[in-house]
Structure 1
Amino acid sequence: MNRRRVALCLLLCLTIAQGGGVGAEDRDDAQAAADVSPTDPPELQYRLAAALAAMGPDYRPRTEHLLPDGRPRYTNRLILEESPYLLQHAHNPVDWYAWGPEAFEHARRENKPVFLSIGYSTCHWCHVMERESFEDSAIAELLNTHFVAIKVDREVRPDIDHLYQNAVRLLTGSGGWPLSNILTPQGETIVAGTYFPPDDFSALLEQVKTLWQEQPEQLRIRVSEIAAALADKLAIDAQAAELGDGIVDQAVTNLLEQHDELQGGFGNAPKFPHQPRLALLLDHALRRDDHAALTAAVFTLQSMARGGIHDQVGGGFHRYAIDNDWLVPHFEKMLYDQAQLARLYLAGWRLTGDPELARVARRTLDFVLRDLTSPAGGFYSATDADSEGEEGLFFLWTPDELRSVLSPVDAELVIALYGVTEAGNFEGRNILHLPIAPESFAAAHGLSPIELWQRLDAINERLYRHREGRPHPHRDEKILTAWNGMMIIALAEATETLHEPRYLSAAERAAELLWTEQRPAPGRINRVYLNGRTAQPGLLEDYAFLGQAMIALYDVTGEQRWLTRAREMADALWERFTDENTGALFMGEATAEIPLIARPQDITDGVMPSATSATLQLLATLTRRTDELEYERRANSLLASTSSRVAQVPSTFPSLLTALNLMRHGDTGQVQYAARGAVRAVTRISARNSDQSSPGDDAGANLVIDLTLRSGWHINAHRPLQDALIGTTLRMPGDRMDWRMAAPTYPPPELLRLGFQREPLAVYQGRVRIDATLQPTSKHRAAGAWLPFELRLQACSDAICLAPETLVLQVPMPTR
C-alpha cells in the first residue's frame, strides 16, 4: 500500500517532479567525512565531545554513519539539546542548529538561506525523510555548504510550527510533518512543503541556491509577497460579532452534514478522530437534548472503538486511520489523543449508559498509567509507529501466533472476534479489530455482553504480556505541561464517573510534579520536563491547560489550593500573552532575539483544542468559581477578539463554541457553583439495594445534593418566612417517563437575624444536604444513564442578596 503523501511547492517558475522515493545511495563513510564534516571551533568541538561522552557506554547513535568501533562519525549541535526529536538527528551528517539566535546570526553573517525542518520523535514520515535525505552525504554537503539547517520539535515549539504550517498551507494548500521550509536569514518563507523524496529535495535545494546567488532581488520581491499574504492570513479582525446560541446550532448543523453516516467520523480518509468536533456534539446533545448530535457522536465513538485505530490488546488509540473503516492506523500513540478520547468516551457513556464506551475510556486511561507514566508521575508524550524498521509491526498478529499464546478455545474465539485471517489485513499480518458488533457476536456464541467482555479482558491480558516481549517502538519521554494538563483533566473526570480513586491519585501526583518542577517562579511555567530537567518557557496552551487541570482537581476534591493555582495560571497568561491592541492572545511571549515573520495566535482547532479556546474555558470556569469580576471581563474581551471569525465559519471553532456554551449556560455535570463560587453543589446517586446493583428492579436509587457555602453566605430555606424570598427547591425537569422523583427531603432551617433585616430569616448555612428518592416507572426505560435535576436557590451574604440562580445538575445512574 503506497502511503506516501508528497507536498511540493512551486517556487516562482520552478517545478519539481515527484520522485519515486528510493533511498539514498550508499557512499564510503571516509569519503563522506572528508566531504561534509563541518569545521567547528575548538570550544564547540569540546562541548560536543563532552555531551557525547555523557551519553554513557550504552548509548546507541541513531545513524548509519559509524566508525569501526561503533562511535558516530558525525556529531552536531543537536547533541546539546534535551528534545528526543532533536537528539534523533544529532548524528546526521547535516550540521544542524536548534532554533535560536545563533543559527540566524550565522545565516545573516554568511548571507545564506535557512533550511527549517520541523517534526517530532514519533513521526513516521519524519523518519523516512531522515533516512533518505538527512543521512545522505551528498544532500548533507549541499545543506552544509549553502544553507544554515535548523531542526525544530513541533511538540516543544508549537508556536513556530503553527506559524510555518500557515506558510506551507498558504503555498501548497496542505500541511503536515515533516515540515520543510526554506527561509531568508530574516525568517521569511521562500519555499515550503512537507515530505520530499531525496531527488526532489536535492533539486529544490539546488534551484533555491541558484536563485539566491544569481537572482536575489527577484527572490526578495517574491519573499515579500509571501510575507504580506501570510500576515493577512494571520491577521485577526478584532471587531466583535454577536455570538448567540444560533451560532452553536449552525456549527452543529454543519458538522452533522460532514458526518460520515456509514463509517463515522468526518469526511473521507485519512480519518482523524477530530475530538473537538465530537466534544461539541456531545455538549450540544447534553444541553439541548439533541438526538441527532448524540447519535452521530456515539456512532463515531463506537466505530473507532471497534476499529484498528483502537489498540484492542493494550488499550489507547493510534493517531489516525488511513482508510474509511478506521481499520489501518498510523500507529503512533499521542498523549493528547488519549486525554481527549478518554473524556469523550466518558461523556458518551454518561449520556447513553453503553458499557462498551465506559470500558474503552477505562482501558485508555489504564494504558496511559501503565505505559506512558514516568517514575515521577508525569505522562510521556508519545510512542512511535515503527519498530524493527517496520511500521506497526509491534501491534500485528498472525493466527499461528495467537494459537501459540492462547488455549485452543480462546484462540478460536479471538480469531473470530477480531477478524483474523491467514492472509491478514496489513502486509501479511493482522490488525486486530471488531468487524461484528460485540453484542451480536456475544449472542451468536451464547454469551451475554458482560461475559464476552470479561473473557476478552482475560485474553487481552495474556496477549499483552506476550506482546511486551517484542522490541518496542520508540517512546518519547519528554513531559509536556499542556499535554499533561489535558491528561490530568481526563483522570479527574474519570475519578467520579468511574468511581476510581486511583485515577485521582495519578492526577494529583502529576499535578504536583508539574507545579514543583515546571514552575521556576510564581506566575511562570516551563513547557518541557525531561530527564529531571526543566526547559523551554511555557506557551499559552501550557498555562491554559494546566489552569484547567487545577480546576478539575478542585472540582473533585474541593481543596482550595487547586483553585489558587488555577488563578495564578490565568493571571499569568493574561499578563504574558495578551495583544493589547485587539484583546486576543499570542501563542508565545514576545522576543527580539529570533526572527519571526509574525507573532502567531492559535484560534482554530486542530488535533487539539486551540490555546485560545482553552483559555476561554479557563476564564469561564473561574468566573463561576470566584468572586473576581476581572475573569468575566477578560473572557468577554477574548471572545470579542475572535467573534467575527467564528461567525464566518463557526464549525471551524468547535472548542471555542463549547467554551461559549460554558460562558452562557454554565457548567454541566455533578459539580456546580452558584454565587460566584460561594455555593458549591455536589450531586451523587446510588442504588438503594446494598450491593449497588442497577436500578433496573423496583428498588430505585438515592439522590443526594451536598451544598457547601462559604463563610458569611447563606441560601434561603425551602420554605422562607417571607413571601418575597425565593426558597431552595429541587425538581426533576422535562418529560422523564422512565423515572419519577419523590418529594425531596430538605434539612431543617436555621433562624438568622441580620442587621438590616427586622424579621428573622429561615436559611441554610455551612454544609447542607438535600435527599430524594428515585423510582423507575418502567422496566423498559429510555436509553441514557444521565438524569438532569434543577436546583433553584438564592444566595445572600451579610451585605448583599444576589439574583436567584438555577443550577442544572446531571447525574449518571449507578451501574452494577
Structure 2
Amino acid sequence: MENKVPNRLINEKSLYLRQHAHNPVDWYPWGEEAFARAAAEDKPVFISIGYSSCHWCHVMALECFENQKIADYLNEFFVSIKVDREERPDIDHVYMSSCQAVTGSGGWPLSVFAGHDKKPFYAGTYFPPPVFLQLLKNIVRLWQKNRSKLLANGELILAHIKSPVFNPEAISYTAVEEGYLRLKQSFDPEYGGFFSEPKFPLPHYVWFLLKYYQCYYKEETRIMAEKTLDALREGGICDHVGGGFFRYSTDRHWTIPHFEKMLYDNVMLLYVYAEAYRALGIEKYRSTADKIAGYLLTRLRSKEGGFYAAEDADSEGEEGKYYLFTYDEITAALGARADIFTKYFDVTPRGNFHSKNVLRLKEEISPADAEVIGECLQLLRGMRAERTAPLLDNKVLTAGNGLAIAAFAFAGRVFENVGFIKAAEETFRFIEDKLMVSGRLHARYCEGETKYPATAADYTALLFGLIELYEATFKEEFLNKAQLLNVSFFGEFYDIIDGGYYYTGRDSETVLFRFKEYTDGAVPSSNALQVYNLYRLSALTNAATLYETAEQTLRLLSGEIRKHPLDCLFSLQSVLMRYHGALELNVVVPPGYDRGSINDAIDAIDWPFINVWVMEGERLEIRACAKGKCYPPIAEFAQLSELIKRT
C-alpha cells in the first residue's frame, strides 16, 4: 500500500531511501533526531539497511513496509530508520557484524533492532510478513517486560563485534602457500569459480591466481584462472546482449543470475580481464574487457564524467524482466538467423527461467559465424531498448569510481586504448571537482549534493586509481596527487600506536566504535588495498617511510591473515609481491620523448610486478632493480628483456 503523503525520506537524494518515501512506515533517515525521539518516547529502534538494486530489499518493502498492519505496529511501538548501505558502509559494517554474530550469516535487507544508544540487541535479514510481525511483537514484549535481558544481549553482541585484538606477527611467506592451498580446495574444477552456489565472481581471487602464475608458472594455476574467466564470460551471469556482468549466480553452473549490476563488480572484472590478457595473451579476454568497458561507458557513466553506482535487478516489478527472452521472441526477431543463434546461446522453447531464457554461451563462436551473431545481438539490443529499463541508481560513489579509474587506466595501457585512459582522467577530474571539499575527500555525489566524509575504502580506491593513472600516462601530476592524498589519508585514518587504518576518519561520525577493515568482500579490504598501494608508491617515490608503513600494517594483519587466508587473499597478493620482488624501473627520457611508448616495452617483460618511475633528462636511460640487486644503466628498452632473464 502506497502512502499518498510522503514520509521524511522524500527529501533524501538516495534512490534507495526515496524508494521508501511513500511507505506508510514513519521512516527516519539515519541521524540523532531518530534516536532522540526513541529515547524521549522510550521505544526500541528498528534499523533497516539495504540498497536500491537489491531484489530481496524490494520484496520485503512490498510485503512488509507497504503492509498497513505492519506499518501501524512499527509506527506505534518503534522508531524506524532507513539506511542506504552504499552511502553509509560504516553503519552497514557495524550492524552486519551484529547480524553475523546473532545468526551466523548476513545479507540484505538487513533488519536490526537496537536501543536508544544504537547498540544492537537482535538482527536478521529478510523476514516474510507473518514472521516479521510476530518478531516485532516479541521484541515489544521483551522491551516492556524484560528489557534488561535485551540490553544485556546487546552488550554481548557489541563485545563480540568490536574489531579483533590484533596480534602482530612477522610477515611470513607460508601464508601465501596456505592461501593458495585453500584457494585450490575452494575451486570448482567442473564449472569454474569458487565455493558452491550462490557463486560470486570474486575477481580478486582470479587476480591473485594470475599473479601467482606469473611468479611460478604452475599449470594448475593457469587452469583455475582460465576456467573461471571462461565460465564467467560464457555463463548467464554475463549480459551477452548489453555487456557487463550481473551480481552473482544462483546456481553452480553460472546460468541463472541475480540481475542487479554493480559498478564495483564490473570495474574489478574489467581490470582482471585486462590482466588476464596481459598475462596469458588470450584474445577473447580482450574482447570481454572491451564489452565490459562499453557497458560502463554507455550505461553507467554520467554526463559529468562520474560512474553511477548500480542498475536494479527488477523492472516493472519482475526480477530480470528486461533481460529475458522467450523462444518465440527470439525466433520472431531473428528470422532465418534464429537457428544459429539459439544453438550458440542455448535458447529453447522451455527456457531456463520461468519459461524464458537467460542467454548463456554454450560454445565459442566460430570466426565464420561471428558476423551473424553480432547482427543478432544488435537486433536483440534494439528489442530491449523498447522495454522498460531497470532503475539506475544515480549516486556517484568515490570508492567505486576510484576502482573505475584504476580499471580504465590499466586496460587503456594494456590495450593501447587512449579512449579508456581519457575516461580514467575525466573520472578523476570529476572527483576533484565534485567530491573534494576544502581538501577533504567525500564519499557520495548525487544530483548536485556532495555528502558524507570519505571512508578508508574511498581513499584507498582513489589512491589505487591515481597510481594506475600515473603508470598509464607517466604524468607527474597524478603521482604528486597520489602522494598528497596519501598524506591526508594517513593523518585522518592511521593508528600511529598499533598500525593499520581505521575505516572512518577522526573527523567522521563514530557509530559505536572505530574499526579496521581487513577482510575482503566483493572488493579488496581497505587495509589490504592500502598495503598494495604503499608498496607501489614507495617504489615510485623512493620513500622508505611508505614502505615501513606498509610493513607495519601488514605485520598488524598477519595473525588474521594466517587464520583466515581466503578472507585476506588480497593482503596475500602483497605478501607475494614482497617475497617474489617487484621489478623497479627508473626511466630517464629526453624532452619530447613519447612516454606512451614506454608501456609497449614494459608489457613485453615477463615479470608479475613492475613499478615504473619516469623523469626527464638529457637522454634515454633505464635503471633496473629487482630482488635486492640493481643493474648498470642501459640505453635501450630492447636490452631490458635480456637483462631481466639473468635475474
Could you say which residue in structure 2 is the equivalent of 1:492? 409
Residue 171, structure 1, aligned to residue 102, structure 2: yes
Partner of 1:116, secondary structure, is strand
Could you say which residue in structure 2 is the equivalent of 1:218? 149
Shift of 1:662: 3.5
The structure richer in helix per residue is: 2
Question: Structure 1 counterpart of 2:344, which letter?
Answer: L
8 Å contact from structure 2 (residues 34, 81) kept in 1? yes
Could you say which residue in structure 2 is the equivalent of 1:509? 426
Partner of 2:82, secondary structure, is strand
Residue 421, structure 1, aligned to residue 288, structure 2: no
Residue 642, structure 1, aligned to residue 582, structure 2: no
Question: Structure 1 counterpart of 2:405, which letter?
Answer: I
8 Å contact from structure 1 (residues 491, 506) kept in 2? yes
Q: Distance in 2 between matches of 1:728 and 1:673?
A: 10
Pairing partner for 1:470 from 359, 381, 387: 387
Pairing partner for 2:311 from 383, 386, 398: 383
Give the 3 Å change call, closer, same or farther, for CA 499–459 of structure 1 in structure 2: farther
Pairing partner for 1:673 from 566, 569, 585: 585
Overall identity of the aligned pairs, in %: 34
Q: Distance in 2 between matches of 1:716 and 1:192?
A: 58
Could you say which residue in structure 2 is the equivalent of 1:106? 37
Question: Structure 2 counterpart of 1:660, which letter?
Answer: V
Q: Distance in 2 between matches of 1:235 and 1:623?
A: 28
Shift of 1:666: 4.8
Question: Structure 1 counterpart of 2:239, which letter?
Answer: D
8 Å contact from structure 1 (residues 236, 641) kept in 2? no
Q: Distance in 1 between matches of 2:231 and 2:57?
A: 29
8 Å contact from structure 1 (residues 548, 618) kept in 2? yes
**Residues 272-291 of structure 1: pairs in structure 2 closer than 5 A:** 272-291=200-219
8 Å contact from structure 2 (residues 44, 113) kept in 1? yes
Q: Distance in 2 between matches of 1:169 and 1:707?
A: 44
Q: Distance in 2 between matches of 1:316 and 1:226?
A: 39
Shift of 1:429: 0.6
Pairing partner for 2:164 from 219, 227, 235: 235
Shift of 1:592: 8.5
Shift of 1:726: 5.1
Partner of 2:437, secondary structure, is coil
Could you say which residue in structure 2 is the equivalent of 1:789? 641
Q: Distance in 2 between matches of 1:171 and 1:393?
A: 35
**Residues 504-653 of structure 1: pairs in structure 2 closer than 5 A:** 504-522=421-439, 524-590=440-506, 596-653=511-568
8 Å contact from structure 2 (residues 50, 84) kept in 1? yes
Could you say which residue in structure 1 is the equivalent of 2:361? 434
Shift of 1:179: 0.3
**Residues 329-368 of structure 1: pairs in structure 2 closer than 5 A:** 329-368=257-296
Q: Higher relative CO (CA 8 A, sep ≥ 6), structure 1 or 2?
A: 2
Q: Give CA-to-partner distance per residue, 1:694-716, whole Å, 9 cap, x none.
A: xxxxxxxxxxx999445599969
Shift of 1:577: 1.4
Q: Give CA-to-partner distance per residue, 1:787-809, whole Å, 9 cap, x none.
A: x93646xxxxxxxxxxxxx998x
Pairing partner for 2:632 from 727, 736, 746: 727
Q: Distance in 2 between matches of 1:376 and 1:229?
A: 44
Unaligned stretches of 5+ residues in structure 2? 604-610, 625-629
Q: Give CA-to-partner distance per residue, 1:359-392, whole Å, 9 cap, x none.
A: 1111011110011111111111111111111111
Q: Give CA-to-partner distance per residue, 1:619-673, whole Å, 9 cap, x none.
A: 11110111332211211121121111112222221111112333444557xxx53
Could you say which residue in structure 1 is the equivalent of 2:51? 120
8 Å contact from structure 2 (residues 540, 613) kept in 1? no
**Residues 252-271 of structure 1: pairs in structure 2 closer than 5 A:** 252-271=180-199
Give the 3 Å change call, closer, same or farther, for CA 676–120 of structure 1 in structure 2: farther
8 Å contact from structure 2 (residues 264, 523) kept in 1? yes
Shift of 1:727: 2.9
8 Å contact from structure 1 (residues 616, 635) kept in 2? yes
Partner of 1:535, secondary structure, is strand
Give the 3 Å change call, closer, same or farther, for CA 576–166 of structure 1 in structure 2: same
Residue 455, structure 1, aligned to residue 356, structure 2: no
Partner of 1:529, secondary structure, is strand
Could you say which residue in structure 1 is the equivalent of 2:396? 479
Could you say which residue in structure 1 is the equivalent of 2:637? 770
Partner of 1:476, secondary structure, is strand
Partner of 1:682, secondary structure, is helix
Partner of 1:525, secondary structure, is strand
Give the 3 Å change call, closer, same or farther, for CA 601–716 of structure 1 in structure 2: closer
Give the 3 Å change call, closer, same or farther, for CA 632–475 of structure 1 in structure 2: same
8 Å contact from structure 2 (residues 244, 295) kept in 1? yes
Pairing partner for 1:158 from 69, 85, 89: 89
Could you say which residue in structure 1 is the equivalent of 2:608? none
Could you say which residue in structure 1 is the equivalent of 2:256? 328
Q: Distance in 1 between matches of 2:202 and 2:617?
A: 44
Shift of 1:172: 0.5
Pairing partner for 2:322 from 376, 381, 394: 394
8 Å contact from structure 1 (residues 570, 618) kept in 2? no
Give the 3 Å change call, closer, same or farther, for CA 667–482 of structure 1 in structure 2: farther
Larger radius of gyration: 1
Partner of 2:64, secondary structure, is helix
Give the 3 Å change call, closer, same or farther, for CA 161–726 of structure 1 in structure 2: closer
Q: Distance in 1 between matches of 2:565 and 2:612?
A: 38
Q: Distance in 1 between matches of 2:508 and 2:454?
A: 17
Give the 3 Å change call, closer, same or farther, for CA 593–717 of structure 1 in structure 2: closer
Unaligned stretches of 5+ residues in structure 1? 1-63, 66-71, 443-448, 688-704, 719-724, 730-746, 748-768, 773-787, 793-805, 809-816
Partner of 2:169, secondary structure, is coil
Could you say which residue in structure 1 is the equivalent of 2:20? 89
Give the 3 Å change call, closer, same or farther, for CA 138–726 of structure 1 in structure 2: closer
**Please, what TM-score do these two structures have when normalized by structure 2?**
0.92
Give the 3 Å change call, closer, same or farther, for CA 498–459 of structure 1 in structure 2: farther
Give the 3 Å change call, closer, same or farther, for CA 244–217 of structure 1 in structure 2: closer
**Please, what TM-score do these two structures have when normalized by structure 1?**
0.73
Q: Distance in 2 between matches of 1:230 and 1:248?
A: 27
